[in-house]
Copies of this chain bind each other. A is one copy, B any other.
C-alpha cells in the first residue's frame, strides 16, 4: 500500500504511549515472566518483586497497550501475552545492545 503519509502529533503521541509502556524495567520483567504463559497477579508479585499494588498498576499500563490480555477467573485475575510481536520489538533492541557490547562479556539480551 506504500502508505507514506506522515503521522500528526496526536498519532505520534499514541505511538509514543505504547513505547512508553515498555520503557520501564519492572514492566519488562513482568513481560519476561508472562512469556512462558499466563500468570496471576500474586504469582507475578512473587517473581518480579515489589509491592502488590505496584505490580497491579504496571499490569494495567501494559494491558492498555493491547499487547497484554487481562482475564478474570473467579477470585483472581490472569494476565497473558495477547500479541507476541512485543517480543519481536524487544529482540530488535536486544540485538542492537548485543552488537554494541561485542568485545565485552557477551551479555545475553534475548527476552
Contact = CB atoms under 8 A, between A and B. Distances in A.
A28 B14 contact: no
B11 A107 contact: yes
Contacts of A19: 19-20, 22-23, 89, 93
A98 to B, nearest CB: 10
Interface of A: 3-7, 9, 11-20, 22-25, 27-29, 32, 65-67, 83, 85-86, 88-90, 92-97, 99-100, 107-111
Contact of A93 (B9, B15, B25, B99): B15
A16 B23 contact: yes
10 contacts: A7-B111, A12-B28, A15-B111, A16-B25, A19-B20, A19-B89, A66-B96, A67-B96, A85-B92, A88-B88
Contacts of A66: 96, 99-100
A23 B69 CA distance: 22
